[in-house]
Amino acid sequence: MAMSDTPGGADGSAARASSVPVCYRHPRRETYIRCSRCERYICPDCMTAAPVGFQCPECINEGARTVRQPTTVLGGQVRERSDLVTKILIGINVTVWLIAMVVGAGEVAGRFGLYAIAGFDGQPVGVLDGEWYRMVTAAFVHEQFWHIGLNMYALWVLGGMLEPALGRWRFTALYLVSALGGSAASLLGLGVGNLSYGASGAVFGLMGAVFVIARRFGRDVSSVLVILAINVVFGFVVPGIDWRAHLGGLVTGTALAYVFAHAPRERRAVVSATACATMVVLIVALVRWQLFA
């Protein structure tokens, strides 16, 4: 009869097996490496190199939650693709323009451009008919190549400066609310049957924001003022350009940017969001008062 050298037979084998450390996430894998934070045993599949030793997945995730993400002076989160929203906005504008080239620029402008009130396909259309969405969609409609070309080039340059500084959500809000402010100013002088469209109101809002942020950091703003002046005058002297949309977007973007740039650091997000919501309410109230009174 076979005899066991270790007292206890099978029980002794179990005792030896229990003394072998195993990965806390994979109990069948032997390992002698501990997590440098929680000191639990981890196998090669669970270990991640750390400044000292290795860490387990749970400690890596916990560290990622507690480590503060780097931000700019104005609170924008530092990201690898710092101009992602700018590229998305350009992509939307170009896509709408290409669709308009296929189905007809007049068709797209008639359905999504800015009307106070007009007739289209035999039906009344416009903001006065309840189509408030036109105040935003009009900012994504273009017809002529030079029109979308100039606006998208300006968006590319200005967005590349503002988006990294402000962060994605505040830059997006700045662009859209500036477009809304431009549409509101345009509506006040459109009249019956007149149409307005284009991203110029939003772009002028970005120009105003560049001026405010440059002043915030004590930079020379003379070149920004020259560019702004040229574009404002350009809107007055060239026929067919809606200068009201330019001024409306400029005022809106400048006001929002001032809040973004000077909001207290500890309450920056709340103050910025409140400013955006307040501006939207004021714009809608102004339009209702002027058009629906």
Q: Which of 151, 106, 152, 115 is nearest to 133 (CA)?
A: 115
* Active-site hit among 147, 178, 246, 272: 246
Angle (nearest 5°) at CA 155 between 153 and 157: 70
Residues forming a β-bridge with 30: 22
Cβ atoms of 159 and 219 within 8 Å: the answer is: no
User: Is 200 among the catalytic positions?
Assistant: yes
State how far the alpha carbon of 135 is from the alpha carbons of 30, 140, 143, 180, in Å.
65, 10, 17, 6
User: Is 36 among the catalytic positions?
Assistant: no
The residue type of 17 is A
Cβ atoms of 235 and 248 within 8 Å: the answer is: no
DSSP annotation string for 172-188: HHHHHHHHHHHHHHHHH
In terms of Cβ atoms closer than 10 Å to its own Cβ (0-12, 13-18, 19+), residue 121 is: exposed
List, in sequence order, every beta strand (DSSP E) within 22-149.
48-49, 54-55, 114-115, 118-120, 123-125
Residue 150: helix, strand or coil by DSSP?
helix
How many C-alpha atoms does 180 have within 13 Å on its Cβ side? 21
Residue 245: helix, strand or coil by DSSP?
helix
* Active-site hit among 200, 222, 223, 272: 200
Residues belonging to the active site: 200, 246
